[in-house]
Amino acid sequence: QMWEEAIALGKELAEQYENEMFDYEQLSELLRKQAQFYENIVKVIRPKPDYFAVGYYGQGFPTFIRNKVFIYRGKEYERREDFEARLLTQFPNAEKMKTTSPPGDDIKNSSGQYIQCFTVKPKLDLPSKFHRPVSEQIVSFYRVNEVQRFEYSRPVRKGEKNPDNEFANMWIERTIYVTAYKLPGILRWFEVKSVFMVEISPLENAIETMQLTNDKINNMVQQHLNDPNLPINPLSMLLNGIVDPAVMGGFANYEKAFFTEKYMHEHPEDHDKIEKLKDLIAWQIPFLAEGIRIHGEKVTEALRPFHERMEACFRQLKDKVEKQYGVRAVPSSLDDRRGSRPRSMVRSFTMPSSSRPLSVASVSSISSDSTPSRPGSDGFVLEPLLPKKMHSRSQDKLDKDDLDKDKKEKKKEKRNSKHQEIFDKEFKSTDISLQQSEAVILSETISPLRPQRPKSQVINVMSSERRFSVSPSPPSSQVTPPPITPRTKLSFSIQSNLELNGMSSSDIPDVPPPLPLKGSMADYG
- Quick one: pLDDT band at residue 249, thresholds 50, 70, 90? low
- The answer to whether 151 and 140 are in contact (CB under 8 A) is no
Q: Helices marked H in 415-508 — which ranges? A: 418-436, 455-465, 497-500
* Average pLDDT, integer, range 264-270: 87
pLDDT at residue 8, rounded to an integer: 94
The answer on pLDDT for 457 being more than 80 is no
Please give the radius of gyration of the chain, using alpha carbons only, rounded to the nearest integer.
Answer: 38
Q: What are phi and psi of 376, to 5 degrees?
A: -80, 160
Highest mean pLDDT among 155-159, 162-166, 249-253: 155-159
Rounded-to-integer distance, Cα 308 and Cα 311, Å: 5
pLDDT at residue 511, rounded to an integer: 66
pLDDT at residue 397, rounded to an integer: 41
Count the neighbouring beta carbons within 10 Å of the beta carbon of residue 326. 11
Weakest mean pLDDT among 197-206, 228-237, 509-518: 509-518
Q: Does domain 207-325 have CATH number 3.40.190.100?
A: no
Rounded-to-integer distance, Cα 199 and Cα 365, Å: 79
Q: Where are the domains of the chain?
A: 3-43, 51-200, 207-325
Note the pLDDT tens digit of each residue in 440-455: 555 455 555 555 665 5
Give the burial string for 20-49 (b: 16+ CB within 10 Å, else e).
Answer: eeeeeeebeebeeebeebeeebeeeebeeb
Q: Longest Cα pair distance anywhere in the chain, in angstroms? A: 116
Name, in order, each residue with C-beta under 8 angstroms of 95's C-beta and a sequence gap of 6 or more: 112, 113, 114, 115
Helix pair 271-298, 332-339: axis angle to 10 deg: 10
Which among 218, 252, 243 has a CA at the least distance from the CA of 317?
Answer: 243
- The answer to whether 194 and 182 are in contact (CB under 8 A) is no
Tell me the helix, strand and coil percentages in the chain, rounded to 5. 50, 15, 35
- Quick one: pLDDT band at residue 55, thresholds 50, 70, 90? very high
The answer on pLDDT for 471 being more than 80 is no
Which among 199, 469, 285, 499 has a CA at the least distance from the CA of 360?
Answer: 469
Q: What are phi and psi of 20, to 5 degrees?
A: -115, -50
Rounded-to-integer distance, Cα 13 and Cα 26, Å: 9
Note the pLDDT tens digit of each residue in 377-407: 444 444 444 444 444 444 444 444 444 555 6
pLDDT at residue 339, rounded to an integer: 41
- Quick one: pLDDT band at residue 338, thresholds 50, 70, 90? very low
In terms of pLDDT, which residue wins out, 58 or 405? 58
In terms of pLDDT, which residue wins out, 501 or 253? 253
> Quick one: how far is CA 489 from the chain centroid?
39
Rounded-to-integer distance, Cα 301 and Cα 408, Å: 64
In terms of pLDDT, which residue wins out, 427 or 217? 217
In terms of pLDDT, which residue wins out, 342 or 304? 304
- Quick one: pLDDT band at residue 134, thresholds 50, 70, 90? confident
The answer on pLDDT for 330 being more than 60 is yes
In terms of pLDDT, which residue wins out, 36 or 351? 36
Helix pair 202-226, 271-298: axis angle to 10 deg: 30
pLDDT at residue 382, rounded to an integer: 42
Kindly report the average pLDDT of the chain as a whole number: 74
3-state secondary structure of 274: helix
Note the pLDDT tens digit of each residue in 271-298: 899 999 999 999 999 999 999 999 999 9
Rounded-to-integer distance, Cα 223 and Cα 201, Å: 33
Q: Is the peptide bond before 49 cis (omega within 30 degrees of 0)?
A: no
Q: What are phi and psi of 484, to 5 degrees?
A: -130, 160
Note the pLDDT tens digit of each residue in 414-425: 554 454 555 455
Highest mean pLDDT among 26-35, 212-221, 308-317: 26-35
pTM score of the predicted model = 0.59
> Quick one: how far is CA 375 from the chain centroid?
35
pLDDT at residue 127, rounded to an integer: 86
pLDDT at residue 522, rounded to an integer: 60
pLDDT at residue 289, rounded to an integer: 92
Rounded-to-integer distance, Cα 113 and Cα 96, Å: 9
> Quick one: how far is CA 160 from the chain centroid?
52
Residue 285 is classified by DSSP as: H
pLDDT at residue 367, rounded to an integer: 38
Q: What are phi and psi of 266, to 5 degrees?
A: -80, -25
Rounded-to-integer distance, Cα 329 and Cα 337, Å: 15
Rounded-to-integer distance, Cα 188 and Cα 146, Å: 12
